[in-house]
Amino acid sequence: MTEFDSIDVNILKQLQKDASLTAQEIAAKVNLSTSPCWRRINRLEKDGFIQKKVALLDSQKLGMQMIIFVSISLSKNDEESLETFEEQVQQFPEIVECYTVTGTMDYFLKIITKDIQHTLEVLGRDQ
């Protein structure tokens, strides 16, 4: 792995703001010529600093009006229970973020749904 410097940090900041920027656009923003900027971006990808580029969707335009946060406490905290829970969470596209937390709760979930009924369905409380 090669040296990581302030130019790399600036490149990552630009990509985090807008991953659709071209190497030329990023180069202009970080005061670097295009070719070295492109090489740095490729190195950052190869070295794992950039894992993937994703699109951020407008949930409201997609009809997903509710954003809710849920705290989860598991009855067992052994490795198998944690792995099982994390595998189950991945089955729900509505669960957009999942964090492990300390304290009395084990997980904190961010869920985006259409409405309260959809929320209840996701939470397994269909009424």
- Out of 86-95, 100-109, 118-127, pick the least confident: 118-127
**Confidence band for 126, pLDDT divided at 50, 70 and 90:** low
**Domains of the chain, each with CATH number or no CATH:** 6-46 (1.10.10.10), 66-122 (3.30.70.920)
Per DSSP (E only), the strands in the chain are: 66-72, 95-100, 107-113
Give 21-78 pLDDT, tens digit per residue: 999 999 999 999 999 999 999 999 999 999 999 888 888 888 888 999 999 999 998 8
pTM for the full model?
Answer: 0.63
Confidence at residue 1, expressed as pLDDT on a 0 to 100 scale? 56
Q: How far is CA 23 from CA 5, 29, 57, 77, in A?
A: 18, 10, 23, 45
Model confidence at 127: pLDDT above 90: no
